[in-house]
Amino acid sequence: MCGLVGVIGDDNLRDEIFLGLHKLEYRGYDSAGIGYIDGGICTIKCVGGVDKLQSITHAINSKVCIAHTRWATHGGPSVINCHPHVSAGKSVCIVHNGIIENCDYLKNKYNINCVSDTDTEIVATLIEIKYLRTKDKLQSINEVINELKGSFALAILFDGDNSIYFARNISPLLIGFGKDKMYLCSDVLGMPNASKYIDLPNLSYGYITLSDYKVYHNGSIANCNIVDVGIDYTSASLGDYPHYMLKEIYEIPKVLKDTISYYVKNTKLVNRIKECVHRINKVVLIACGTSYHACLMGEKFFNEMGYLAYSCIASEFVYDSIPIDKNTLCILVSQSGETADTISALAKCKKAHCKTLCITNVVSSTIAKNCKIVMPIKCGPEIAVASTKAYNAQVLAMYVLQYIFKNKKLSTLHTHINKLIKLLDVSVIEKQSIKYIKHILSAKNIIMIGKNADYVSALEASLKFKEISYISSTALPCGELKHGTLALVDEDTLVIVFDTISKLRDKTSNIISQIKSRGGKILVISNKENNAANYMIALPNIKERFLPLVSVIPMQLISYKTCVACGYNPDKPRNLAKSVTVE
Ligand code: G6P
């Protein structure tokens, strides 16, 4: 979703700002722009990629620059709606992540006409109006943020001032310290030349200059910790892979290894999780998208242990009436830790005094900061919009929880995962998967089915597939096929069957017969040969109960290959964003 970056420095501003913008591209966006001061406020904007913006930006003769990648919410992708936005009197220039919920109210109250359809432009003019009256930039910003409803990370330029001002509420914003540069950025990945940073507190505002910074909260100086960036940027670069998505699928064995090793070593965290076990009578797992599918897998594990467990889609959970109280353990799963729907769900859990635990890849995220217990997954940055390695690691975190709740030794799980990793060769699965791309592309209908945990794999497979191939597919439990969707099955239908649970194999075979007798083609993903299948992808020969950790890998690869065969960019699917920071 939207990304913002600001840089102050004496030289190389163009290189630095575009380096940052390129690093933020992974979040998903449809237009981009920069703003700087060169004899007045200047902006350059375009619909399309950062490369395009760079090609029309020849030089930046300025000591300060702010920039933005926009994912359209208020108003479609257009140059007018693209950030930065400049105030009516042309003295203030801003970029904004988040949503100003009361922008229409403010437009009426102050009688401001905006040229764009955005909820951002009003903020620039409002700061200008306040500044004309107060002649105090910080006071003006503070007054404005006190009137704003919604979420915002704002970078602000005032004409004639070589500082970058800022304000934040809910949406993340960081100050970065480089060798001879200062940065402001929505994401630590967007300032690769910063060695240290401050994660700005909520409802803070202030400014950065080349040699100084000030952070305020409600008129008083706010104390902030400066921390090391501590990111291995090589894990955020492509290496020899053509796309991040493929790289990230290939990283799955390492991610599983790093995640389980982390828990084996971290007894303090494991003991904190153990404390929950005796005090809860219900488990609610909450997330969006791929992370929601990891919840569905976790729900099965908790049910097996005798807990009442429910998985909820975060945006629905906020409005539904599922009973929760202090004896409920709410598990929030979010790769980014910044998904707005999941953040709202967390607020509801906290209001009901539930115990909160999150499973996340970003321990400095909003969700992590607001949960009682934080369970990291050790994935390194996930850049491709469609989540892959994070899903496998989230499912592993569910196994870790199962072991802790059952009071079983994590060292035993560690041994199982090590054995699994030895048998998991992603390139072997890739070779098998490639063969079927032509059948996928020629099918009129694609249906994915499975029973129990295999149904969850089918759901995640179908989501991955449609996210990046733009081909419609549906996922359902095997037994549900005959209750409607079977009407779609004919000679042009491909049904992908997840078949990894031996005790359910007979039932799955019945369904395969029903499909074949109607002319449908069957692709089976399984650890056992299946003679009824037209096509087959063999999963590694690992213990059956750990197959949910790997059974989606063939479809992660098939989705990737199909997308590339169609000529699309798998890392940046249309209309989607990596981290959806608006509800
Ligand atoms: C977006 C991404 C999905 C992701 C979902 C939840 O929609 O495109 O890939 O699964 O957000 O993200 P989270 O960071 O909360 O896991």
Whether 286 is in the pocket of ligand 1, judged by its Cβ within 6 Å, is no
**Alpha carbon of 334 to ligand 1 centroid (Å):** 7
Choosing from 387, 395, 462, 560 the residue with most ligand 1 atoms within 8 A of its CB, the one to mutate for a pocket test is 387
**Alpha carbon of 137 to ligand 1 centroid (Å):** 37
Whether 360 is in the pocket of ligand 1, judged by its Cβ within 6 Å, is no
Whether 572 is in the pocket of ligand 1, judged by its Cβ within 6 Å, is no
Q: What is the pTM of this model?
A: 0.86
pLDDT at 233: 67
| Catalytically active residues, by annotation | 2, 578
Q: What average pLDDT does the segment 228-248 reach? A: 85
In a 13 Å sphere around the CA of 382, the CA atoms on its Cβ side amount to 29
The model's confidence at residue 570, banded by pLDDT at 50, 70 and 90, is very high
The residue whose CA has the least distance to atom 3 of ligand 1 is: 289
Q: How do beta strands 328-334 and 85-86 pair?
A: unpaired
Quick one: fold of 424-569? Rossmann fold (3.40.50)
pLDDT at 253: 98
Task: Answer for the pair 293, 280: CB distance below 8 angstroms, yes or no.
Answer: no
Q: Domain-by-domain residue ranges, the chain? A: 3-232, 243-423, 424-569
At the top level of CATH, the class of 3-232 is alpha beta
Q: What is the mean pLDDT of the chain?
A: 94
Choosing from 248, 291, 377, 391 the residue with most ligand 1 atoms within 8 A of its CB, the one to mutate for a pocket test is 291
CA-nearest of 377, 386, 333, 363 to 172 is 363
Minimum-distance ligand 1 atom for the alpha carbon of 342: 15
In this predicted structure, the answer to whether residue 410 has a pLDDT above a threshold of 70 is yes
Report pLDDT digits (tens) over 298-343.
999 999 999 999 999 999 999 988 999 999 999 999 999 999 999 9
DSSP letter at 183 equals E
CATH code that applies to domain 243-423: 3.40.50.10490
> What angle do helix axes 389-405 and 289-304 make, rounded to 10 degrees?
20
Whether 362 is in the pocket of ligand 1, judged by its Cβ within 6 Å, is no
Whether 361 is in the pocket of ligand 1, judged by its Cβ within 6 Å, is no
In this predicted structure, the answer to whether residue 548 has a pLDDT above a threshold of 70 is yes
CA-nearest of 71, 91, 95 to 17 is 95
Percent over 90 (pLDDT), the chain: 85
In this predicted structure, the answer to whether residue 483 has a pLDDT above a threshold of 80 is yes
> What angle do helix axes 252-265 and 410-423 make, rounded to 10 degrees?
160
Q: What average pLDDT does the segment 478-504 reach? A: 95
Task: Answer for the pair 183, 196: CB distance below 8 angstroms, yes or no.
Answer: no
Whether 366 is in the pocket of ligand 1, judged by its Cβ within 6 Å, is no
Please report which helix (H) or strand (E) contains residue 60, including its range: none
pLDDT at 583: 74
Report pLDDT digits (tens) over 27-69.
888 899 999 999 999 999 999 889 999 999 998 999 999 999 9
Whether 580 is in the pocket of ligand 1, judged by its Cβ within 6 Å, is yes
Whether 394 is in the pocket of ligand 1, judged by its Cβ within 6 Å, is no
Residue 433 and residue 205: Cα distance in Å, rounded? 51
Q: What average pLDDT does the segment 131-150 reach? A: 96
Please determine whether the domains at 243-423 and 424-569 fall in the same fold group of CATH.
yes
The model's confidence at residue 277, banded by pLDDT at 50, 70 and 90, is confident
pLDDT at 234: 66
Whether 335 is in the pocket of ligand 1, judged by its Cβ within 6 Å, is yes
**Alpha carbon of 164 to ligand 1 centroid (Å):** 31
Report pLDDT digits (tens) over 166-204.
999 988 999 999 999 999 999 888 999 999 999 999 999
Residue 89 and residue 85: Cα distance in Å, rounded? 12
Please report which helix (H) or strand (E) contains residue 439, including its range: helix 437-442
Residue 96 and residue 45: Cα distance in Å, rounded? 14
Whether 336 is in the pocket of ligand 1, judged by its Cβ within 6 Å, is yes
Minimum-distance ligand 1 atom for the alpha carbon of 576: 8
Query: According to DSSP H, which parts of 266-409 are helical?
Result: 267-277, 289-304, 314-317, 340-351, 366-370, 389-405
**Alpha carbon of 383 to ligand 1 centroid (Å):** 12
Q: What average pLDDT does the segment 348-366 reach? A: 95
Q: SS3 string of 293-321?
A: HHHHHHHHHHHHCCCEEEEEEHHHHCCCC
Q: Which two tokens stand for residue 307?
A: 């807990």
The residue whose CA has the least distance to atom 2 of ligand 1 is: 578
Choosing from 333, 335, 465 the residue with most ligand 1 atoms within 8 A of its CB, the one to mutate for a pocket test is 335
Percent over 70 (pLDDT), the chain: 99
Report pLDDT digits (tens) over 92-104.
999 999 999 999 9
Q: Which two tokens stand for residue 199?
A: 């994660």
Q: What average pLDDT does the segment 266-291 reach? A: 93
Residue 88 and residue 121: Cα distance in Å, rounded? 9
Choosing from 187, 248, 290 the residue with most ligand 1 atoms within 8 A of its CB, the one to mutate for a pocket test is 290
